[in-house]
């Protein structure tokens, strides 16, 4: 992989991470503003956390294989 491809790869991965983080933060805000653990709010938060965790795991694996 040349430098340009590595930069593009990193930019795409950072965008994925940023999107997942935004989803987590939005779900958490919705949950806390609702004033309680509504099943739909909790499910949205759980899905956002799972997505964020999946992105982080994939980035870690890909980062290790890149070395």
Domains in the chain, number: 1
29 lies in some domain? yes
6 lies in some domain? no
Please report how the helices 3-34 and 39-66 are oriented relative to each other, as an axis angle in degrees rounded to 10: 160
pLDDT tens, 8-59? 888 888 888 888 888 878 877 777 776 666 667 777 778 888 888 888 888 8
Residue with tokens 């899905």: 47
Residues 6+ away with beta carbon under 8 Å from 48? 20, 23, 24, 26, 27, 28
50 lies in some domain? yes
Give the residue numbers spanning the domain of 21.
15-66
The angle subtended at Cα 49 by Cα 36 and Cα 24, nearest 5°, is 70
41 lies in some domain? yes
pLDDT at 2 over 70: yes
43 lies in some domain? yes
Residue 39: the pLDDT is: 66
2 lies in some domain? no
pTM of the model: 0.54
55 lies in some domain? yes
9 lies in some domain? no
């Amino acid at each position: 992989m040349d430098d340009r491809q590595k930069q593009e790869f990193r930019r795409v991965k950072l965008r994925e991470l940023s999107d997942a983080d935004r989803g987590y933060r939005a779900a958490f805000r919705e949950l806390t503003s609702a004033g309680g653990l509504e099943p739909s709010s909790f499910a949205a938060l759980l899905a956002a956390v799972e997505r964020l965790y999946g992105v982080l795991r994939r980035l870690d694996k890909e980062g290790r294989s890149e070395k």
